[in-house]
Every structure is written in C-alpha cells, then in structure tokens.
Structure 1
Amino acid sequence: MTEIKDFINNQVEPLQSNDFIVDVQNIFLDFEYTHFPIIENDVFIGSIGRDEAEMYTSTDSINEHKYGLHRFFVREKMNWFDIFEEFSKNHTNILPILDEKNQYLGFYELDDVLHFLNETTFIKENGGIIVIEKNTNDFTFSQITQIIESNDAKILGLFISYSDSETTQITVKITLSNFNEIIQTFRRYNYTILSEHQEDSYLNSLKERSDYLDKYLSI
C-alpha cells in the first residue's frame, strides 16, 4: 500500500546558505518550482521564492538574503490532508520535510501529492457524492454514519467542506446502493441536501408537479 511518505523527494539536493543566488536561479531554470529549500549545517532555515530570486543580484550570497526566506515546512509524520492544506495555504508547489529535530529530510512536490490523492479510496473508488448541511451544533459524524450504514451503504470518505458558527456542510462519498433512501433519511433527520441527484425522488416529484402546473397555467 502506497503511503504519503513514499513520495519524499531527496534526489534534488537543497542549497546551502553559503551558495550564491545564481545557483538558485539555475535551479529555477531547470525546475518549475515556486520555492526551493535552503539548509545550514543540515538544518532547514527556509525556502527562497522564485520571484525573489529573480530580483536578487546573481553574485550575492544566499546568506545576504536570509531575512527573506519563507519558513513553511511539514513534519515527517503529517497526514496527507494536512500536507495538502499546507500547499494551499502557502501557495507553493514544493514543501520541505523536517524531522522532530528540524533536520531536513527532503521535500514533497504538489504533483506527487495530487497523484497520491487520486489513489485514495475517496477519489478512486466508484461511488456517489452527497453534500449535506445542518446547524453546526446539531450534527454528529456518528449520526451521519448511522444514517448511511442503516441503509446498507458504506462510507468511502467524508469531510467538512464548510463551517461557521451557524451551519456546517459535510461532503460524503458513499457506495451507490440505496442512494435515494439515504437522501430521504437525511431529510427526515433535518439535514438539507445541497447536491443535486437524479435518484432524488422527492425533488423529481416536485419537478413533475411544477411541470404539470406550468402546462395547466399555459392552457
């Protein structure tokens, strides 16, 4: 089974703080990285950004620009979801990886993490997506699980896709069995169904009545 740590890249060596800006510029010519890690005595001290490197004088030492390094990184044992979040939060396509002593281990590339995500059950397995909403204080994951499993379906993945003090939206991927029954059960438990589904008999019935009324009024 593939794990996220299998995608650690340590084939491209980080630059040293006493290297020169021209070395950074050459890296960015060879690779489409937005940032590149810098170390000092095997300890990560930050990443230099492509935009900054293009503005610096090529003969400068990286040491002269340490104040402008970006400090984001991930830990060796972080899960894939937190890693993906760090990519998004820092607008980068490369994330340095450190151990608990801040020793540099390598980096993740965004394309590799997206590849890993595509291999997860949530993406890879066939199923249907339901987006539901309920008051933030009223929903529980145990209730959502019970509703789905009581209708003889299985959860392939779920996560909170939006939340504030009043409402929370949950995206759930499930096996396709008894899809309509699951939708109706969520409604009975006062969940709002935000996603549209051809299997939704309640909405289909409303649409049929609306179409009938439109025809009647046009007579």
Structure 2
Amino acid sequence: MIASQLINEHLCPLRITDSVEAALLFMIEQGVTELPVVEQKKLYNYARLSQLGTLPKTQKLHESIAKNPFPPAARSNNHLYELVPMLAVNDLSLLAVVDDQGLFLGIIEQKNINKHIAESFTYRGMGAILVLLMNDRDFAPSILARWIEENGAKILGIMINHTSDGQLRINIKLNSIKVKAILATLHRQQIVVEHVFMAEDHDENDKKAFDIAFKFFDI
C-alpha cells in the first residue's frame, strides 16, 4: 500500500492566510493536534495546537509560523513502511502527501498507518516475527529477503525504527512459524536477533517481549 491510498479525505490543510483563531477552531473541530499549512498548493509547514495556543488570535499563520524550505512530506508513491520513520523523526501524528512537483495532495494519519501495519503483521494467519538490530550501513532488504527465502520462508511485512543509540531495529513478519534455520543463517552473518515471537521452534513468546516489539506501532 502506498501513500496516495492512505489519504484521509475528511482532513483538510490550513492556509497561510488563516488566522490563528480560525486555525485553532478548525483543528479542534477536526480532532487533530496538528495540520499541514499550504501556500499556493505547496506545503509551507505544520501548525500545532500547542504552538498556536500561545499566539495572538488575530495573527495570520504566515506571520506566526516560519516557512520550512524542506517540510516533511510523503511522496504519493511512498510505501506504507516508509511513512512511520518520517512521522517518528519529525514527531508528527499526521503527514502531508505531495506529488512529484511538490503540490499538496492530502493528509495521512498515523492511526490509519498503524491499522494497516497491524493488518499486515497478521496477514495470512500466524507467522513468526523477528526483531533484528543492525547498523544503517549494513541494512540491505534484498539480502535479508534472500537469506530468509533460502531457508524456505518469505517476508510478509517489515517495519523499521531507530534505537536510542542510533541503530536500526528491524521487525520482520514471516509466513512461517519455523525459524531455526533462519536464525542460524543470521547468526553466521553476525546479525543480532533481539527477539523472536510466535515461532514454533524458538521459545520467546512471552507477552512482555511481544509488547516491546509492538510498542513502537501503538497497536
């Protein structure tokens, strides 16, 4: 699933000519804590309730919020799994979507992304989940997929976030509950396996560990 398919048609952006008061009322009405601000159909920046609440109500948004020359935004063809890091890095609960010319297309909410992630992680029934720790320079999805497929399994879903020390934490959903051979291959390749869940031949299925794996997804 790509960004253009996740757009919430009920959410609208703010305009730079909106007043702070109008923006606050509009955000409260839509039930969000932030919204993209657009200028001539291009993304200008984001407005947050916490920020606007401290500003004079009659000010226009372009007077209150500086223009961001590189505002975070998803391209229309960005994959679902590319969106979560954008939200996390920029501390956003929603994300603007733009086309190849940078024109605003719509808004994606994090809760909608989380819903689809949850569905992908349970897709086609039971399957093990591996949580790997890797350095950014060592991460190659195609190589990981090859190692896993050589051991008779396939990747159904993958999710990536950063640890506090800058490593990548890679959550991989498999179509198999047998992981012994896969783990042996990863060990030979010196890949750190932090957790293994829902595997038939590996004993690490306690609820506490499962909660750790899914904490990032808020599901």
TM-score between the two structures when normalised by the length of structure 2: 0.69
Secondary structure of the corresponding residue to residue 13 of structure 1: coil
Match of 1:94 in 2: 94
Kindly indicate whether structure 1 or structure 2 has the higher relative contact order, using CA contacts under 8 Å at least 6 residues apart.
2
CA deviation vs aligned residue, 1:53-108 (integer Å, no higher than 9, x gap): 10111122223213276932222222222221111111111211122222211111
Q: Structure 1 unaligned segments of length 5 or more: list them.
A: 202-219
TM superposition outliers: structure 1 runs of 4+ over 4 Å: 132-147, 158-163, 167-171, 184-193
Residues 4 and 199 (structure 1), Cα distance of their counterparts in 2 relative to 1, 3 Å cut: same
Contact 2:4–2:97 (Cα < 8 Å) also in 1: no
Secondary structure of the corresponding residue to residue 67 of structure 1: coil
TM superposition shift of 1:182: 3.7
Match of 2:156 in 1: 156
**Matches of 1:100 and 1:113, distance apart in 2:** 22
**Matches of 1:8 and 1:152, distance apart in 2:** 36
- The alignment covers a number of residue pairs equal to 196
More helix by share: 1
Contact 2:3–2:75 (Cα < 8 Å) also in 1: no
Percent of paired sites with the same residue: 20
TM superposition shift of 1:162: 6.5
Contact 1:28–1:50 (Cα < 8 Å) also in 2: yes
CA deviation vs aligned residue, 1:182-211 (integer Å, no higher than 9, x gap): 43454466655543567249xxxxxxxxxx
TM-score between the two structures when normalised by the length of structure 1: 0.69
Contact 2:131–2:169 (Cα < 8 Å) also in 1: yes
Whichever of the two has the greater Rg, that structure is: 1
Residues 18 and 78 (structure 1), Cα distance of their counterparts in 2 relative to 1, 3 Å cut: same
Q: Structure 2 unaligned segments of length 5 or more: list them.
A: 204-219
- TM alignment of 1:112-151, pairs within 5 A: 112-120=112-120, 122-125=121-124, 126-131=126-131, 144-145=144-145, 147-151=147-151
Match of 1:22 in 2: 21
Secondary structure of the corresponding residue to residue 65 of structure 2: helix
